[in-house]
Amino acid sequence: MDKQPATSWSIHTRPEIIAKYEIFERVGSGAYADVYRARRLSDGLIVALKEIFDYQSAFREIDALTILNGSPNVVVMHEYFWREEENAVLVLEFLRSDLAAVIRDGKRKKKVEGGDGFSVGEIKRWMIQILTGVDACHRNLIVHRDLKPGNMLISDDGVLKLADFGQARILMEHDIVASDENQQAYKLEDKDGETSEPPEVIPDYENSPRQGSDGQEREAMSKDEYFRQVEELKAKQVVRDDTDKDSNVHDGDISCLATCTVSEMDDDLGRNSFSYDADEAVDDTQGLMTSCVGTRWFRPPELLYGSTMYGLEVDLWSLGCVFAELLSLEPLFPGISDIDQISRVTNVLGNLNEEVWPGCVDLPDYKSISFAKVESPLGIEGCLPNHSGDVISLLKKLICYDPASRATTMEMLNDKYLSEEPLPVPVSELYVPPTMSGPDEDSPRKWNDYREMDSDSDFDGFGPMNVKPTSSGFTIEFP
């Protein structure tokens, strides 16, 4: 199939779409997609039509949303259109606002009126909704990989829904999904990671993928089974990490910093010479994933250090960053470059070493970047000085170096913090902003945005450093 995008106005000329929808204004656009408000002609329902220009991104989003259909905190996909040489168009429920706008308005209100920002009850309710959405993903072994406030959309009545699954990956076949005949019909990626042609036009599917072909709701996975699967996955990751050493993944060209060579350094010091998702399709054969995903402020250390063997835990770090931002109304780690991002994390958590994360020395870029010893790290409590010990210790369960130590969504949801006084407010009492956040109000650019940039070297304005050539590239030391 041709992966080149059709022109962005193509949506207005597609007979199968305009036969069913009246298309209004464009309401948003991202790196891979334009989104339009539209009205379904049959019943007047207002929907969002998301035209996706990137083939892989479309596959991922359709695949994930099909599996997650019916989860209350994930955006609903009513149907999608996709045929050869056309962009995929997803018909999504229309959501007016997002969590970035909630934080933006909370910050403005605090500036004008003073006070603490959101009440504890409001924060708890937002967190419960976010955790429930991510829990649905993780139960299906879907790692979102781009969790941030701008990808958490909000309905008029305050229901938060995870959106933008263009970077999501399904970590392995899940028995609930695999046993679903209906799902098989829509499955776009087979077990070997080979992609098949998408179906021509898929009508509304009445049967949720979480239902059997008989339409009966499947039994929810038990907590024990859930933890068993997560543990199994973690064990697999350890095995893979060991395999890494043998297969020399350390030197793989998919790591963002590892792609730099000494000659590139001369021309373009540290500007991210990297390969983006296109490489991931190749790496699928080895079960590797790209580290170049997500939005910098929410990206966990394992990705910043170039890991290609990571799991659901990347989302847990991002969750911690979102939680901290809800509490303080400021981003926790607002890095201005990728090195600055690592440096900010180091200043708060201390230096990354075997003591805090056994095995970290095997991360692809661990030996390439070193910082002077941080004698007294600020700690999460230093970043959020006015918050209770309970909330700080909960945050620490997410914002920690060792991915295996991060609390699962289920553990977070069961934490007493969320059920004790002050209780979470009802969803109907949550403030819903009238609009989405603007493009500048969310967070900085993604990895792929660098491709079109002239500057923003990772090292601009970063202070002194020692760069030493090595046989495989270079090392950078920040004294």
Ligand X SMILES: Nc1ncnc2c1ncn2[C@@H]1O[C@H](COP(=O)(O)OP(=O)(O)OP(=O)(O)O)[C@@H](O)[C@H]1O
Catalytically active residues are: 146
Q: Which stretch binds ligand X (CB under 6 A): 27-35, 325-333, 373-381, 408-416?
A: 27-35
- CA–CA separation, 260 vs 239, rounded Å? 28
273-312 residues in contact with ligand X (CB under 6 A) are: none
48 binds ligand X (CB under 6 A): yes
Using CB under 6 A, pick the residue from 17, 27, 137, 171 that binds ligand X: 27
Q: For residue 337, report the phi and psi dihedrals to the nearest 5 degrees.
A: -155, 175
For the bound state, the minimum distance from the C-beta of residue 251 to ligand X, rounded and expressed in Å, comes to 29
For the bound state, the minimum distance from the C-beta of residue 405 to ligand X, rounded and expressed in Å, comes to 29
Residues 346/374, Cβ–Cβ less than 8 Å? yes
Using CB under 6 A, pick the residue from 6, 8, 28, 478 that binds ligand X: 28
Q: Which stretch binds ligand X (CB under 6 A): 24-32, 132-140, 282-290, 349-357?
A: 24-32
Q: How many residues bind to ligand X according to rule CB under 6 A? A: 21
Annotated binding-site residue? 393? no
Position closest to ligand X via CB: 30
The alpha-carbon radius of gyration of the chain (Å, integer) is 22
For the bound state, the minimum distance from the C-beta of residue 7 to ligand X, rounded and expressed in Å, comes to 16
Annotated binding-site residue? 471? no
Annotated binding-site residue? 31? yes
Q: Strand order of the sheet with strand 473-478?
A: 369-371, 473-478, 466-470
For ligand X, what does the binding mask look like between residues 150 and 169, x meaning CB under 6 A?
x--x---------xx-x---
Token pair listed for 189: 């990626």
Using CB under 6 A, pick the residue from 32, 59, 276, 366 that binds ligand X: 32
Annotated binding-site residue? 417? no
93-112 residues in contact with ligand X (CB under 6 A) are: 93-95
Q: Which stretch binds ligand X (CB under 6 A): 31-39, 250-258, 375-383, 470-478?
A: 31-39
CA distance to 11, 94, 382, 433, 434, per residue, from 156 (Å):
26, 10, 36, 9, 9
Token pair listed for 137: 């993903």
Closest-CA residue to 224 (of 216, 235, 232): 232
Using CB under 6 A, pick the residue from 33, 123, 326, 327 that binds ligand X: 33
Question: Which residue lies nearer to ligand X by CB, 27 or 332?
Answer: 27
For ligand X, what does the binding mask look like between residues 426 and 445, x meaning CB under 6 A?
----------x---------
- CA–CA separation, 135 vs 412, rounded Å? 10
29 binds ligand X (CB under 6 A): yes
Question: Which residue lies nearer to ligand X by CB, 90 or 412?
Answer: 90
Token pair listed for 393: 């210790």
For the bound state, the minimum distance from the C-beta of residue 66 to ligand X, rounded and expressed in Å, comes to 16
Q: Which stretch binds ligand X (CB under 6 A): 28-36, 126-134, 416-424, 468-476?
A: 28-36
Residue type at position 312: L
Annotated binding-site residue? 473? no
316 binds ligand X (CB under 6 A): no
> Which residues is 74 bridged to in the sheet?
162
Q: Which stretch binds ligand X (CB under 6 A): 25-33, 247-255, 260-268, 422-430?
A: 25-33
Q: What's the number of CA atoms in the CB half-sphere (13 Å) around residue 261?
A: 4
Classify strands 473-478 and 369-371 as parallel, antiparallel or unpaired: parallel
Question: Which residue lies nearer to ligand X by CB, 75 or 332?
Answer: 75
Classify strands 369-371 and 169-170 as parallel, antiparallel or unpaired: unpaired
Annotated binding-site residue? 100? no
Question: Which residue lies nearer to ligand X by CB, 100 or 316?
Answer: 100
Annotated binding-site residue? 35? yes
What angle, 0 to 180 degrees and rounded to 10, lies between the N-to-C axes of helices 313-328 and 120-139? 170
Q: Read out DSSP for 348-409?
A: HH----TTTSTTGGGSTTGGGEEE---SS--HHHHHSTTS-HHHHHHHHTTS-S-GGGSPPH
For ligand X, what does the binding mask look like between residues 105 and 144, x meaning CB under 6 A?
----------------------------------------
What angle, 0 to 180 degrees and rounded to 10, lies between the N-to-C axes of helices 99-113 and 313-328? 20
Annotated binding-site residue? 29? yes
- CA–CA separation, 166 vs 168, rounded Å? 6
Annotated binding-site residue? 50? yes
- CA–CA separation, 80 vs 346, rounded Å? 43
Annotated binding-site residue? 28? yes
Q: Within 10 Å of residue 260's Cβ, how many Cβ atoms? A: 23
Report the interface residues with ligand X, using CB under 6 A.
27-33, 35, 48, 50, 75, 92-95, 150, 153, 163-164, 166, 436
Binding site for ATP, by residue number, is 27-35, 50
